[in-house]
């Protein structure tokens, strides 16, 4: 339709509607895709949907207005094209004129077509995303088959099933938000808008109509009366008189600002031109505050305010600002202190909001001033002033001025996601630039889901996902991910993927026969975030783990990020894993195969601590949610890679258990072994321990720094006795201090030495240390458990997992980094591999080389070996 039909229907001497003319097609990112909905009380109330295409506003009259209920159809009658400047029209069309009645700008923003919009429009099925102030997410416009002699062209407006959709029975957006986004007026407040003077109409000078490109971006809010202006609002109004930072420009609060994005680099940039922040593992969220009304937007402009709960919105509303736009990250922190995207996804799925934390790192607008042109450090200083003293769940993201390489090494050692480096004097620029650069501790990116394999333990859950990336418009397979799914997520993915099934593979050239076995192909619409160790030589993912769905990113934009590091996957031993997708940690998404992959990665570091020595095993064949039991002897059907060793002190008794290689370790995984507890002696010298262990077990009320301080004190006393000390997290509540010994003294001697040291600690500080096992004496104190040093007693191995929620591992540390670790369960199956990859040296590499003889005087028996029967 052309504007000739629009003009023929109107008398521009009688109506204020703009005459308009087609605009040239806009160029550039985000240009040419304006969107507006006008609420129109004509002969009957309806809503006019307008989408910019080819220099005009394609228009549909939606008789009952849009619905946020996914799948609900609303009739949309295609009407004549309107000029672009009609998008700013608000007022009254005189009675007797075409469309006579009141009009308000009910919503506005931009729209993003999915696919070629011209081809879709011609076929009669437009799929698109709306980035409006009220409407967001994906939508469909579908043309209906016309009836004979029917003059009008009927379409259907349908909300897609996404995060912006609402369930049936939820509040109606039309009743919830009736006001204009341009002026705050309701349609009843428009009244009779007098027609323009003839001279105005002829000259085309409009006093109220504005182009859709220049609609004021201040959101709809009814003006408050002077008597009701809050003290905070008055303070903000005074603050508005002068710019908060040098470089700020007076301007209205934007409806939405596309975020600044960081470019991926291998190494953090060097030099003093950059500051560095910890990279968070959550959702990028912009907080828009306008006179106490808060809206939280994703990076693509989806309004997720309702998803994050009332507490977060109240916290933003309490800030000392009338209007503000803040950029930051919404996260969930695990008990170990790390941010976890998987935990965030789980909390969103469960409707849980109590663990949400928002880290603010940039300020784009404040009380009438646009700060985007100001330098970064000036904006951050203004943000720090705004957030001074704010309570949870809001936090200020601190920046650091150390060298980028030092910051990245520090972050990776603590198993954080990485570092974001920002040019200190740069303005805020939307889109991906070199002003912001991200360097990661482990490879991590989004992939398109092109298929799935059904779980071997549940017919209504997925067992693995088949992933791909786009290259020149074609989807290339990059392999599978088979761990990282909780039981709930695996079932939810099945529910979401099953309706997308298709017979043909979406991957270019299909999948090889082996890779295609059992795969159900799906339309490539969903996007998964996956963490992985590296790429294999054949460009498949290595050591991949699912982290969550990315509902804020379209599949068509997913490409391979950066230049991949190629690596050879560790050789897998010939041990068959039955039911590899069995969940051993159901709430953490760690499967049997995921545990085997983890051990394959840490094997070079772990081997010397568990090979060829007796093992006590904690088995949980059905995962930690079911029955677990310790096992020191063989069971029926034990794998041949697990060695049975006679105990010389129990002739004819049940043999001890041991392994000799990675195949033995994977055999333990197949058998449901979730904790590995080795003896402190090797099979070669079973009666002469080569390791002494002090287990620091804090009672209730003991702070983590107190445990760290005691470990350091033990180290000092050991070194004074000529012994080396190594420290590791227990993966449970405390720390282990391990001492390498030359295997010369017997079990009784080693135990006696450990007991004497523990007793001396307790005698010197009885208010904080206890050396007896009685639980009644432990509250507020740390039990130094020396009993781990008796024959047959064990302690959890370095790098072993713990059969507890969180899938923590016992992680060896250097003494220098001990104080930086936030807690004993910080390192997990999910982050331990990235930590090890970041280390320049294994902190326990010299463990056996540092072995020394137990001091003879302390042993009391001249180092004589003696076994406890």
Please name each of the domains of the chain with its CATH number. Answer: 3-214 (no CATH), 249-440 (3.30.470.30), 444-551 (2.40.50.140), 583-684 (no CATH), 691-859 (3.90.920.10)
At 218 the pLDDT is 35
Instruction: Write out 391-448 in H/E/C secondary structure.
Output: CCCEEECCCECCCHHHHHHHHHHCCCCEEEEEECCCCCCCEEEEEEEEEECCEEEEEE
Per-residue burial over 520-542, b = 16 or more CB atoms within 10 Å of its CB, e = otherwise: bbbebbbbbbbbbbbbbeeebbb
Q: Which residue in 533, 554, 578, 367 sits closest to 442, CA to CA? A: 533
Enumerate the β-bridge partners of residue 527: 448
Q: Which residue in 155, 149, 101, 152 sits closest to 128, CA to CA? A: 155
Which H or E run contains 343? helix 341-350
At 634 the pLDDT is 93
Q: Which residue in 263, 302, 601, 219 sits closest to 432, CA to CA? A: 263
With vertex at residue 414, the alpha carbon angle to CA 616 and CA 824, rounded to the nearest 5 degrees, is 40
Please, what is the end-to-end C-alpha distance for the chain in angstroms? 97
Q: Which residue in 698, 636, 641, 637 sits closest to 667, CA to CA? A: 641
Burial class for 470, CB neighbours closer than 10 Å (0-12, 13-18, 19+)? middle
Q: Which of 134, 218, 279, 728 is catalytic?
A: 279
With vertex at residue 680, the alpha carbon angle to CA 678 and CA 685, rounded to the nearest 5 degrees, is 110
CB atoms near residue 691 (< 10 Å): 24
**Cα–Cα distance between 341 and 589 in angstroms, integer?**
12
Enumerate the β-bridge partners of residue 675: 618
Q: What is the DSSP code (8-state) at residue 802?
A: -
Enumerate the β-bridge partners of residue 474: 471
**Cα–Cα distance between 769 and 5 in angstroms, integer?**
89
- Tokens 């928002």 -> residue: 358
Q: What is the DSSP code (8-state) at residue 280?
A: P
What are the start-end ranges of the H helices in 475-562?
Answer: 487-497, 513-516
Q: Which residue in 208, 234, 47, 35 sits closest to 137, CA to CA? A: 35
Q: What is the DSSP code (8-state) at residue 714?
A: H
At 575 the pLDDT is 85
The first and second tokens of residue 519, run together, are 């795969």
Positive or negative, the CA dihedral 216, 103, 133, 77 is negative
Which H or E run contains 288? strand 283-290
The half-sphere exposure of 390 on its side-chain side, counting CA atoms within 13 A, is: 25
Catalytic, 147? Answer no
Q: What stretches in the chain show pLDDT beneath 50?
A: 25-31, 193-239, 563-564, 566-568, 857-869
Per the CB < 8 A criterion, the answer to whether 798 and 606 are in contact is yes
The half-sphere exposure of 787 on its side-chain side, counting CA atoms within 13 A, is: 7
Residue 312: helix, strand or coil by DSSP?
helix
Enumerate the β-bridge partners of residue 769: 782
**Cα–Cα distance between 740 and 719 in angstroms, integer?**
12
| Confidence (pTM) | 0.60
Q: Which residue in 133, 162, 154 sits closest to 68, CA to CA? A: 162
Per the CB < 8 A criterion, the answer to whether 396 and 384 are in contact is yes
Positive or negative, the CA dihedral 21, 27, 28, 32 is positive
- CA distances in angstroms from 210 to 15, 19, 182, listed in the order given: 15, 12, 11
**Cα–Cα distance between 208 and 533 in angstroms, integer?**
58
SS3 content of the chain, % helix, strand, coil (to 5): 25, 30, 50
Backbone angles phi, psi at 617, to 5 degrees: -120, 135
The first and second tokens of residue 655, run together, are 């043999």
**Cα–Cα distance between 284 and 440 in angstroms, integer?**
17
């Amino acid at each position: 339709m052309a504007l000739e039909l629009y003009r023929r229907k109107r008398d521009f001497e009688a109506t204020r509607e703009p005459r308009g003319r087609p605009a040239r097609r806009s160029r550039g990112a985000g240009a040419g895709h304006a969107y507006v909905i006008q609420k129109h009380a004509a002969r009957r109330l309806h809503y006019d949907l307008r989408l910019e295409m080819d220099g005009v506003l394609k228009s549909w009259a939606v008789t009952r207005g849009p619905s946020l209920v996914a799948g609900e159809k609303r009739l949309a009658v295609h009407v004549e094209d309107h000029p672009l400047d009609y998008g700013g029209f608000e007022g009254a069309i005189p009675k007797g004129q075409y469309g006579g009645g009141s009009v308000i700008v009910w919503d506005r923003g931009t729209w993003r077509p999915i696919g070629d919009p011209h081809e879709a429009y011609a076929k009669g099925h437009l799929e698109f995303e709306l980035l409006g102030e009220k409407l967001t997410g994906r939508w469909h416009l579908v043309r209906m088959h016309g009836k004979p002699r029917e003059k009008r062209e009927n379409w259907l407006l349908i909300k897609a099933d996404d995060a912006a959709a609402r369930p049936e029975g939820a509040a109606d957006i039309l009743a919830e938000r009736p006001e204009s986004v341009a002026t705050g007026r309701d349609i009843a407040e428009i009244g009779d808008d007098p027609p323009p003077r003839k001279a105005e109409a002829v000259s085309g000078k409009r006093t109220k109509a504005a182009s859709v490109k220049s609609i004021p971006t201040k959101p709809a809010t009814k003006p408050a009366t002077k008597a009701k202006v809050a003290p905070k609002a008055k303070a903000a109004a005074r603050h508005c008189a002068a710019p908060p930072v040098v470089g700020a420009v007076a301007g209205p609060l934007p409806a939405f600002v596309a975020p600044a994005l960081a470019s991926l680099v291998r190494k953090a940039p060097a030099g003093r031109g950059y500051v560095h922040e910890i990279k968070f593992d959550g959702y990028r969220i912009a907080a828009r505050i306008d006179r106490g009304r808060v809206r939280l937007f994703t990076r693509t402009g989806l309004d997720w305010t309702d998803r994050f709960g009332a507490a977060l919105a109240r916290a933003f509303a309490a800030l000392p600002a009338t209007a503000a736009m803040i950029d930051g990250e919404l996260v969930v922190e695990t008990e170990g202190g790390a941010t976890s995207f998987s935990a965030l996804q789980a909390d969103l799925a469960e409707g849980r909001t109590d663990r949400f934390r928002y880290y603010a790192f940039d300020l784009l607008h404040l009380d009438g001033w646009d700060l985007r042109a100001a330098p970064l450090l000036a904006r951050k200083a203004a943000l720090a002033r705004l957030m001074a003293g704010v309570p949870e769940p809001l936090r200020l993201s601190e920046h650091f001025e150390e060298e980028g390489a030092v910051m990245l090494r520090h972050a990776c050692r603590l198993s954080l996601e990485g570092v974001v480096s920002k040019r200190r004097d740069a303005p805020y620029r939307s889109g991906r630039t070199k002003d912001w650069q991200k360097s990661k501790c482990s490879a991590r990116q989004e992939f398109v889901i092109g298929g799935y394999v059904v779980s071997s333990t549940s017919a209504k859950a997925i067992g693995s996902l088949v992933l791909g990336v786009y290259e020149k418009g074609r989807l290339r397979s990059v392999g599978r991910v088979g761990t990282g799914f909780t039981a709930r997520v695996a079932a939810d993915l099945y529910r979401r993927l099953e309706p997308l099934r298709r017979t043909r593979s979406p991957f270019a050239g299909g999948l090889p026969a082996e890779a295609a076995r059992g795969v159900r192909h799906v339309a490539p619409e969903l996007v998964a975030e996956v963490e992985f160790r590296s790429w294999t030589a054949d460009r498949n993912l290595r050591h991949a783990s699912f982290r969550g769905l990315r509902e804020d990113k379209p599949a068509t934009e997913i490409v391979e990020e950066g230049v991949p590091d190629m690596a050879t996957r560790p050789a897998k031993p010939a041990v068959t894993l039955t039911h590899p997708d069995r969940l051993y940690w159901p709430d953490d998404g760690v499967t049997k195969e995921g545990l085997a992959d983890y051990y394959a990665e840490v094997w070079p570091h772990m081997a010397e601590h568990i090979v060829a020595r007796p093992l006590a095993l904690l088995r949980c064949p059905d995962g930690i949610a079911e029955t677990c039991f310790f096992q020191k002897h063989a069971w029926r059907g034990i794998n041949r890679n697990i060695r049975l060793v006679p105990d010389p002190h129990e002739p004819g008794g049940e043999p001890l258990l041991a392994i000799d290689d990675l195949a033995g370790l994977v055999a333990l995984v197949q058998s449901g072994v979730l904790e590995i507890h080795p003896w402190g002696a090797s099979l070669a010298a079973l009666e002469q321990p080569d390791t002494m262990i002090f287990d620091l077990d804090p009672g209730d009320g003991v702070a983590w720094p107190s445990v760290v301080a005691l470990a350091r004190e033990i180290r000092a006393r050991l070194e004074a006795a000529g012994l080396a000390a190594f420290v590791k997290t227990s993966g449970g509540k405390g720390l282990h201090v391990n001492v390498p010994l030359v295997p010369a003294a017997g079990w009784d001697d080693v135990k006696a030495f450990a007991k004497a040291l523990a007793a001396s600690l307790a005698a010197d500080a009885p208010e904080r240390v206890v050396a007896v096992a009685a639980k009644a004496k432990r509250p507020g104190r740390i039990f130094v458990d020396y009993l781990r040093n008796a024959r047959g007693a064990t302690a959890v191995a370095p790098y072993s997992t713990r059969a507890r929620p969180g899938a923590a591992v016992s992680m060896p540390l250097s003494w220098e980094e001990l104080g930086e670790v936030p807690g004993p369960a910080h390192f997990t199956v999910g982050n331990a591999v990235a930590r090890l990859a970041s280390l320049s040296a294994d902190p326990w590499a010299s463990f056996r080389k540092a072995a020394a003889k137990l001091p003879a005087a302390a042993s009391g028996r001249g180092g004589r070996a003696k076994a406890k029967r």
